[in-house]
């Protein structure tokens, strides 16, 4: 946990009763309060942030957003040293300025745009589930089941799989080399690791209803 770009709590505890009540799982953590501060921003206003906390938070945000500069093994820099030698953070770089204020409207817009861009690209190429494009079982069959056969259940009722799970849904692209170029173009839009939480997945179905018939997906998740 990084609070206000000033305090870092790093450890094994999760935000649940098992970790937090104190009478179940054993946990360990450290609190880091760096007395060395730097000029920063918070919600559009000037802010004195802890050098360690804000650099850690910015580095993590940049990783999720795809803003870390690539490293070239043939051109090592200060951050190629082994553990024990602190990394050098590129203060005031273009990438750093994009994540300096986590509460600004510009940052929130950029964060949401990157998540949607990545999600849409993954969706077009791979048709992963859960997905907000799937809000009922009919859409589930159209979006997912007709491409990827179920791995569990009665073999006689098993749907033949058009593609292996995790492979490109080729119907969305042209054939041959043109299709390969189209796939590469879509995948090139993905930066970092950020995607949207599919909060609308099966929104129109009561999947917790007692006695509801389960397919292989819901059986694995909910039973």
Q: Is residue 131 part of a domain?
A: yes
Q: How does pLDDT run across 18-65, given as a tens digit for each residue?
A: 888 888 899 999 999 999 999 999 999 999 999 999 999 999 999 999
Q: Is residue 108 part of a domain?
A: no
> What is the reported pLDDT for 213?
59
Q: Do residue 156 and residue 133 come from a single domain?
A: yes
Q: Do residue 94 and residue 123 come from a single domain?
A: no
Confidence of residue 173 (pLDDT cuts 50, 70, 90): very high
**Range 148-165 burial, b when 16+ CB lie within 10 A, else e:** bbeeeeeeeeeeeeeeee
Q: Do residue 90 and residue 181 come from a single domain?
A: no
Q: Do residue 161 and residue 202 come from a single domain?
A: yes
Q: How does pLDDT run across 77-114, given as a tens digit for each residue?
A: 888 888 898 889 999 999 999 999 999 999 999 999 99
Q: Is residue 160 part of a domain?
A: yes
Q: Do residue 135 and residue 89 come from a single domain?
A: no
Q: Do residue 125 and residue 33 come from a single domain?
A: no
Q: How does pLDDT run across 179-197, given as a tens digit for each residue?
A: 999 999 999 999 999 999 9
| Structural domain harbouring 91 | 2-103
> What is the reported pLDDT for 223?
52
**In this structure, are residues 65 and 107 in contact, taking their beta carbons and an 8 Å threshold?**
no
> What is the reported pLDDT for 208?
67
Q: How does pLDDT run across 109-136, given as a tens digit for each residue?
A: 999 999 999 999 999 999 999 999 999 9
In angstroms, the Cα distances linking 93 to 67, 98, 100 are 11, 9, 10
Q: Is residue 126 part of a domain?
A: yes
């Amino acid at each position: 946990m990084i609070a206000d770009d000033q305090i870092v709590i790093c450890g094994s505890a999760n935000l649940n009763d098992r970790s937090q009540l104190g009478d179940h799982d054993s946990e360990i953590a450290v609190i880091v309060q760096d007395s060395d501060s730097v000029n920063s921003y918070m919600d559009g206003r000037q802010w004195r942030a802890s050098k360690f906390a804000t650099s850690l938070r910015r580095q993590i945000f940049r990783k999720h957003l795809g803003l870390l500069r690539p490293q070239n093994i043939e051109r090592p820099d200060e951050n190629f040293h082994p553990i024990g030698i602190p990394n050098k953070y590129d203060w005031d770089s273009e990438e750093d300025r994009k994540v300096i204020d986590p509460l600004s409207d510009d940052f929130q817009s950029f964060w949401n745009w990157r998540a949607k861009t990545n999600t849409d690209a993954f969706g077009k190429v791979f048709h992963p589930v859960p997905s907000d494009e799937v809000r009922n079982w009919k859409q589930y069959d159209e979006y997912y089941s007709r491409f990827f056969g179920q791995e569990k259940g009665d073999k006689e009722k098993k749907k033949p799989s058009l593609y292996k799970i995790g492979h490109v849904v080729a119907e969305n692209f042209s054939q041959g080399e043109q299709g390969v170029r189209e796939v590469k173009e879509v995948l090139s839009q993905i930066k970092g690791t950020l995607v949207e939480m599919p909060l609308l997945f099966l929104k129109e179905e009561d999947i917790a209803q007692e006695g509801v018939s389960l397919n292989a997906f819901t059986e694995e998740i909910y039973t």
